[in-house]
């Protein structure tokens, strides 16, 4: 097969850096453009000394990037939709790592993100890029909306049980600091984070919208989601704890585990395990590892899931989506640590 | 007033060390005996170079310790009840930092802790040492059962609303590593904890029993508790997130905050704040800082509370209890960082 | 004695916050003005939720501040000298935490700091604020130049041996991140620091100038200093390792320890210990703890010293200087952790 | 070429785990036995959940292991020499990760390690496994003594200049906690290490012996080494700062850098860079990255080097040695992160 010509738009954030690492080591990929706003003309290895990758950052232009087979857009929410539309228009397939094409309801962009989405048609066309659920659609998509990091962990935690959840899910999730991005701020200062821990966006974090949308589609009915993110003093990783009740009542931890194992039996990157997994088991990898428990006394199911927020929660999943889009094995280029 | 003669039984764990620091700086206390099994004859400053405290560890004997007005017993669960009984019998008042006198139902010791409790009468007599709830009883108690670290954070989070909680509380709590004690083990090895995070005792952690008992007493009816502890890569601190529904339905965050502020208006060590507090705001102190939110879309109340697990979660609260027992201001000796 | 009226100019960096904590708890101090550029009108507890201190930040004006008995100036190097001159002119005594009055040679400001110092006379008048060496002069000073954090650790490490050092000292020092200040930058981003370690300003760090000046004065002759700072993934603390040879040759670790103990016998804040101290033994305190070893095989002396960079390395030492200036016990207000 | 049959003796420490990871992903290797004392019969993935490797730990026996082409011995110092001798006797080539065959002078084992070495002949035969210096000898060796982690960083720092160093080297090195091994102890407890930093074995650490031996051989004359290790609150990595003077005097940083670049021009795993490298640039890799500076004012050269103590400092270098021994490209299996 021919090599896939790939570009990264906005390559100098943390997700851009991991994507650069993954794509430069991917056996089926040829890097095309790496664009940046702040580092034009700088070498990759000069900006990220830990990346042993050739290449120089260039300024974005639709012309240059659209020569690629696929472009990964790593712009902030609200700044990506125009570039995505432009590139698709020029015949380039896109994996968008922002939230700009994840929600189906255009009105949701006003209420959750505060802008009017100008591309209703593309919003309907875009496919939510969770391969474990939409791989057939992803294979044909022009626009893949790569899921948020928290929704990835949460959805993989609840999909096997979605149809039987009684009314709502509580998601208490904890993320490493890289989830806040590479731009310095008071809240990511080492001295503010080290030895500390707290919840943030404690009611109504934007990722709730994706969770509600996709859980509802999977369950076939609207279910509530109460999502609370917390900031962990670690670089990378999300630990998600989901709580819900089953409409039918108790079924026992063993049967729950069997159900989850069966559901994910053919998945390359979802590992159902007996123990409660720690972040370290997936750091640097594209795996989601999870387990499930019944708390019989409380009548609750608990699901514990870990991912690396920058890999399965962002850039690794983006590559997995690219593999789907171009008919490659889903794990191509994704079996090494980054 | 006369000085209080105080001893610490089992003074060389983390709670013992913090107690030693607090008591040695307490204006109303004269240190009597500091006992240890592993460090007999060693100086305090030799075992804990950060403690600038005179004193030498001695072997435990009821005779030596019972000369104190109060003894703090810092033995592991199951090993404390005999020593407590012995000291009380000799006329010494006791603050027990183990779980051995926290539960009222003797049968609970078999089901939760795996031993038959030999002192039914003392169990009934002992007072649960949460001053914010039982200070009148503590003032007269011979045995004060100092609460567990997680129950302290959880109970302070739910007491103001207890009477109106509809059926159950979910508690997703995160603790620093000092909560696991000072004895080395694989799970407290730096390389196993650093950069990691995970739940443990993920169904049926023993502290659930205290939470159920005390929440039920406060609510006037049995309420369910689903408690899940997690291990944070920090030394000290507990962050507790509690989720529950109110029987009456929604009331709004402002009214909830007002309710909590009123409930704790006279408390020296409970601070209700507008923002979500981080661990660092209470590290080294006896404060519990908390806030409350209504998640209207999900119909839920969320309470976020932080304490230092070794201070308000253990040794600081023990001193606060001692202050109550001996008629001192509750904050005596507790206004400096340890 | 009357209370000392104290102001802090530039109170919202890390050194300002620690000073605020120390002064607000100091028995002999009444806080006057707390000035800030970025937080005018904000409450102390709003900017630093961990500080349980009343007070509101105001804009700097010489008039307002000069009503104080003493002002602590916490401005960056090059921005402090004018304010200091202005305040002294109005009759206020000053402890300057910047480097602007530490060097005696005006030309040094051009070569090390890149500006022409406009106050030659005040430079000569200012006293280098290391109380262990200059307490008599500090007592009478109008301007005390509080030493840098690294020079404090280094000088306390070498002073007892200064007269006998043969030709030069190598100082390999490691600092926590708070030493880089509170303003966010790429290099203080949690993800850049956590799990990492490196040297910086690896030849010719500015603190070298203070070390050379003061070591030379103590030794009575010019001695070389090769200083290399490194950034530690911890919040607070400096660990300084100094290497030098004695002109007379070997004398043995025991005699070195005895020499150091004798030298610091009357010091409240320098602790010579047998073991190699760790940062944790001084975190939050004004102590410098150190030990000395002879490496006989290599013919070298090694001195290991720890301080908290924000306390003995900055704000604590500033308060110690104030105590000297106003005839208070040197440890007044400095025996609790901050 | 045929696959190399490889065994690991003592596979359940940190070096064993990294070796297991590296060898199981090596294209030219077939895993034979993985032995353990504590985990016999346990699966690899059960002991190390982060390792996605098949295999079960077995008890050591010379018979079973000697069926391998090469055995990696990961026993503690003093416990390895007998096993190594036994395996060599049965025709198996050995890479010994302990110190038992690193020193040429048998008497050194008494003075530095406290035991009489029973295999004088094998000691002479064994090759010091630093491929950058001894690759020709390693290619033919029956026993390769894999260097210590600190000596690896230190020797790579000084070899290009060894012939011109005037009399001695000061090495101030800082290691992550994994260097202390996987067995829990007070000193590796999270709460003792986190936020802390200190020197240990501050005079006469055993690795000094290797440094003196190999530096002397490289320089053609005896040179002194004063080595001081420090414990960093990170999992993995060594940062080594070496200080020395050149007999000829100053030559300038540029010429030093050129010298170092030329010396390592053909090396796959030594990267000379312009900037001072941080640990994170080599974590998980077999690279040593270093730079050199002249401190003209002090007449000193400083060399800053980083390695991952478990990879280039242990298991990665062991695989690099194996590649040499069996005629494979030196970087085979070593281009991915572990």
Asked if D253 contacts D292 with a C-beta cutoff of 8 angstroms, the reply is: yes
State yes or no: pLDDT of A331 exceeds 80. Answer: yes
Helix or strand (DSSP H, E) at D166: strand D165-175
CB-nearest partner of C337 from B275, B278, B336: B336
Determine the pLDDT at residue B311.
Answer: 98
Determine the pLDDT at residue B280.
Answer: 97
Of these residues, A149, A191, A273, A288, which one is catalytic?
Answer: A149
* CA dihedral sign, ordered C88, C90, C93, C99: negative
CA distance D119 to D106: 9
State yes or no: pLDDT of A211 exceeds 90. Answer: yes
Which residues of C participate in catalysis according to the annotation? Answer: 149
pLDDT tens sequence across C20-59: 999 999 999 999 999 999 999 999 999 999 999 999 999 9
Which residues of B participate in catalysis according to the annotation? Answer: 149
Q: To which residue do tokens 């000092």 refer?
A: B178
- A 10 A CB-CB count for D55 gives 16
Neighbours of chain A (3+ CB pairs under 8 A): B, C, D
CB-nearest partner of C49 from B194, B277, B338: B277
Please answer yes or no on whether B174 and A170 come within 8 Å at the CB atom.
no
- Chosen for mutation from B189, B195, B200 (greatest number of chain D CBs closer than 10 Å) is B189
Q: What angle do CA C4, C7, C8 make, to 5 degrees?
A: 140
Count contacts between C and D (CB, < 8 Å). Answer: 138
Mean pLDDT in residue range C248-261: 97
Pairing of β D288-295 and β D270-272 = parallel
In A, minimum Cα distance to D284 occurs at A337
CA distance D113 to A111: 70
Q: Which residues does C contribute to its contact with A (CB < 8 Å)? A: 14, 177-178, 182, 184-186, 188-195, 233-235
CB-nearest partner of D293 from C168, C202, C300: C202
Please answer yes or no on whether C195 and D279 come within 8 Å at the CB atom.
yes
Determine the pLDDT at residue B77.
Answer: 95
Asked if A94 contacts A126 with a C-beta cutoff of 8 angstroms, the reply is: no
Residues of A in contact with B293 (CB under 8 A): 202-203
Residues of D in contact with B235 (CB under 8 A): 190-191, 194-195
Asked if B233 contacts B197 with a C-beta cutoff of 8 angstroms, the reply is: yes
Asked if C159 contacts A158 with a C-beta cutoff of 8 angstroms, the reply is: no
Please answer yes or no on whether B199 and A174 come within 8 Å at the CB atom.
no
CB-nearest partner of C281 from B49, B281, B336: B49
Determine the pLDDT at residue A325.
Answer: 98
In C, minimum Cα distance to B195 occurs at C195
Banded pLDDT at B318 (limits 50, 70, 90) = very high
ipTM of the complex model: 0.96
Token pair for D142: 């029956």
- A 10 A CB-CB count for B257 gives 17
Please answer yes or no on whether B233 and D177 come within 8 Å at the CB atom.
no
State yes or no: pLDDT of D1 exceeds 80. Answer: no
Q: Closest by alpha carbon to C328, among C88, C69, C19, C146?
A: C69
CA distance D70 to D326: 9
Asked if A318 contacts A97 with a C-beta cutoff of 8 angstroms, the reply is: yes
Token pair for A35: 């664009």
CA distance D175 to chain B (A): 13
Give me chain C's average pLDDT, please: 97
In A, minimum Cα distance to D338 occurs at A337
Strand order in the sheet with B238-246: B198-199, B224-231, B165-175, B238-246, B300-307, B288-295, B270-272
Q: Which residues does A contribute to its contact with D (CB < 8 Å)? A: 49-50, 194-195, 273, 275, 277-278, 280-284, 336-338
Please answer yes or no on whether D182 and B191 come within 8 Å at the CB atom.
yes
CA distance A6 to chain B (A): 32
Banded pLDDT at B239 (limits 50, 70, 90) = very high
State yes or no: pLDDT of B1 exceeds 80. Answer: no
Neighbours of chain D (3+ CB pairs under 8 A): A, B, C
Question: Which residues, other chains included, contact C319 with Cβ-Cβ below 8 Å and sequence gap of 6+?
Answer: C19, C22, C23, C26, C286, C333, C334
Percent of residues, chain B, with pLDDT higher than 70: 100
CA distance A176 to chain C (A): 9
CB-nearest partner of B235 from D14, D185, D194: D194
Please answer yes or no on whether C196 and D302 come within 8 Å at the CB atom.
no
In A, minimum Cα distance to B282 occurs at A196
Residues of B in contact with D182 (CB under 8 A): 186, 189, 191
- A 10 A CB-CB count for B222 gives 11
D173 SS3 class: strand
CA distance C85 to chain A (A): 32
Banded pLDDT at C91 (limits 50, 70, 90) = very high
In D, minimum Cα distance to A271 occurs at D52
DSSP 8-class letter at D187: G
**CA-only gyration radius of chain C, Å:** 19
CB-nearest partner of D298 from C168, C234, C294: C168
A104 - beta bridge partners?
none
Q: Closest by alpha carbon to C67, among C87, C40, C37, C47?
A: C87
| b/e code A183-196 from CB counts within 10 Å (16+ = b) | ebeeebbbbbbbbb
In D, minimum Cα distance to C204 occurs at D295
CB-nearest partner of A195 from C185, C189, C235: C235
CA distance B336 to chain C (A): 7
Banded pLDDT at A1 (limits 50, 70, 90) = confident
CA distance B187 to B82: 29
Residues of D in contact with B185 (CB under 8 A): 184
Banded pLDDT at C291 (limits 50, 70, 90) = very high
Q: What are phi and psi of B95, to 5 degrees?
A: -110, 115
Please write down the HEC assignment for all residues of chain B.
CCCEEEEEECCCCHHHHHHHHHHHCCCCEEEEEEECCCCCCCEHHHHCCCCCCCCECECCCHHHHHCCCEEEECCCCCCCHHHHHHHHHCCCEEEECCCCCCCCCHHHHHHHHCCCCCCHHHHHHCEECCHHHHHHHHHHCCEEECCCHHHHHHHHHHHHHHHHEEEEEEEEEEECHHHHCCCCCHHHEHHHHCCCCEECCCCCCCHHHHHHHHHHHHHCCCCEEEEEEEECCCCCCEEEEEEEEECCCCCCHHHHHHHHHHHCCCCCCEEECCCCCCHHHCCCCCCEEEEEEEECCCCEEEEEEEECCCHHHHHHHHHHHHHHHCCCCCCCCCCCEC
pLDDT tens sequence across A308-321: 999 999 999 999 99
In A, minimum Cα distance to D279 occurs at A50
pLDDT tens sequence across D78-104: 999 999 999 999 999 999 999 999 999
Q: How many Cα atoms occupy the beta-carbon half-sphere of B86 within 13 Å?
A: 15
Count contacts between A and D (CB, < 8 Å). Answer: 30
Q: Closest by alpha carbon to D117, among D76, D82, D162?
A: D82
B211 SS3 class: helix
pLDDT tens sequence across D269-310: 999 999 999 999 999 999 999 999 999 999 999 999 999 999
Residues of D in contact with A283 (CB under 8 A): 50
CA distance D132 to chain B (A): 30
State yes or no: pLDDT of A36 exceeds 90. Answer: yes
Q: Which residues does D contribute to its contact with B (CB < 8 Å)? A: 14, 177-178, 182, 184-186, 188-195, 233-235
pLDDT tens sequence across D9-63: 999 999 999 999 999 999 999 999 999 999 999 999 999 999 999 999 999 999 9
């Amino acid at each position: 097969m021919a090599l896939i010509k790939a570009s990264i738009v906005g390559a100098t954030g943390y997700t851009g850096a991991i994507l650069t690492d993954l794509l430069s080591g991917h056996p089926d990929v040829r890097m095309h453009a790496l664009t940046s706003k702040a580092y034009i003309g700088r070498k990759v290895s000069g900006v990220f000394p830990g990346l042993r990758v050739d290449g120089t950052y260039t300024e974005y232009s639709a012309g240059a990037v659209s020569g690629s087979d696929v472009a990964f857009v790593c712009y902030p929410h609200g700044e990506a939709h125009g570039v995505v539309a432009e590139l698709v228009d020029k015949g380039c397939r896109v994996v968008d790592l922002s939230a700009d094409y994840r929600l189906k309801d255009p009105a949701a962009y006003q209420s959750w993100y505060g802008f009017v989405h100008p591309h209703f048609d593309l919003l309907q066309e875009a496919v939510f890029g969770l391969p474990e659920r939409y791989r057939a659609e992803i294979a044909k998509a022009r626009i893949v909306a790569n899921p948020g990091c928290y929704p990835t962990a949460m959805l993989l935690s609840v999909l096997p049980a979605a149809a039987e959840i009684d009314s709502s899910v509580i998601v208490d999730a904890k993320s490493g600091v890289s989830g806040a991005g590479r731009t310095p701020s008071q809240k990511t200062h080492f001295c503010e984070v080290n030895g500390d821990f707290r919840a943030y966006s404690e009611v109504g974090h934007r990722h709730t919208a994706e969770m509600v949308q996709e859980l509802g589609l999977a369950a076939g009915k609207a279910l509530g989601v109460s999502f609370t993110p917390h900031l962990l003093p670690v670089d990378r990783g999300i630990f998600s704890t989901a709580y819900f009740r089953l409409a039918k009542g108790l079924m026992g931890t063993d049967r729950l585990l069997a159900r989850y194992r069966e559901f994910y039996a053919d998945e390359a990157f979802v590992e159902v395990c007996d123990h409660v997994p720690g972040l370290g088991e997936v750091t640097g990898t594209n795996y989601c590892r999870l387990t499930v428990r019944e708390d019989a006394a409380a009548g609750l199911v608990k699901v514990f899931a870990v991912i690396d927020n920058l890999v399965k929660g962002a850039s690794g999943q983006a590559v997995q989506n690219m593999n789907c889009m171009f008919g490659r094995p889903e794990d191509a280029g994704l079996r090494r640590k980054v």
